[in-house]
Amino acid sequence: MNKEFIKETITKDGKVDIGKAAVFISMIESKNRELFVKTYIEELGLRVVITEVAGSGGDLKKKIINSCVGAALNIDVIDKEAHHVHGLIHAAQEAGRGLMLDMPLDANLHIKIAIVRSEHWIAVSMYGNSAYHILSNHSRLGLGYVNI
């Protein structure tokens, strides 16, 4: 994987699309490649943080929001300001709705979350697997994109 490929993948109409960047990062399995892509996207002037969440049932939604807000604040992807936290929560909720659409409450879920921020926008991508049983795993993806 090289920088030219990454830029081509995350660009739309000649500009870096933070939604595409977040989805791209969330789907990378290799930690080395993830770090390479994250570093490059940061070189392009964007802020990036990656976190993971696992669980089942209603507690999972709370875990997702807490993980997103905690990670974004700890790495300075967002500032400790109400409109930044509010925007991030809405983007995470939007991504979560897409990810969990028609998912049974007692299914297990393991997801990687990528948060990418430009000056005025934030994107949250969640990608992972859900299943009742390890042999019935299938992939899920959700994206939220909000103005902050």
Distance CA 2, CA 8 (A): 10
Summarize pLDDT for 20-44 with one digit per residue, the tens.
Answer: 999 999 999 999 999 999 999 999 9
Structure tokens at 67: 């993980």
What residue ranges define each of the domains in the chain, with the CATH number in brackets?
A: 3-147 (3.40.1510.10)
Helix (H) or strand (E) holding 13: none
Write down the pLDDT at residue 126: 97
Q: Is 105 exposed, middle or buried (0-12, 13-18, 19+ CB in 10 A)?
A: exposed
pLDDT (mean) for 87-116: 89
Percentage of the chain beyond pLDDT 70 is 96
Write down the pLDDT at residue 112: 98
pLDDT (mean) for 119-147: 90
Q: Following DSSP, what letter does each residue of 67-83 receive, concatenated?
A: HHHHHHHHTTSS-SSHH
100 vs 13, higher pLDDT: 13
Block residue for tokens 């399995």:
29
Distance CA 59, CA 14 (A): 40
Max CA distance (Å), the chain: 43
96 contacts 130 by C-beta, under 8 angstroms = no
Write down the pLDDT at residue 108: 84
Burial profile 13-37: b = 16 or more Cβ within 10 angstroms, e = fewer: eeebbbbbbbbbbbebeeeeebebb
Summarize pLDDT for 66-85 with one digit per residue, the tens.
Answer: 999 999 999 999 999 999 99
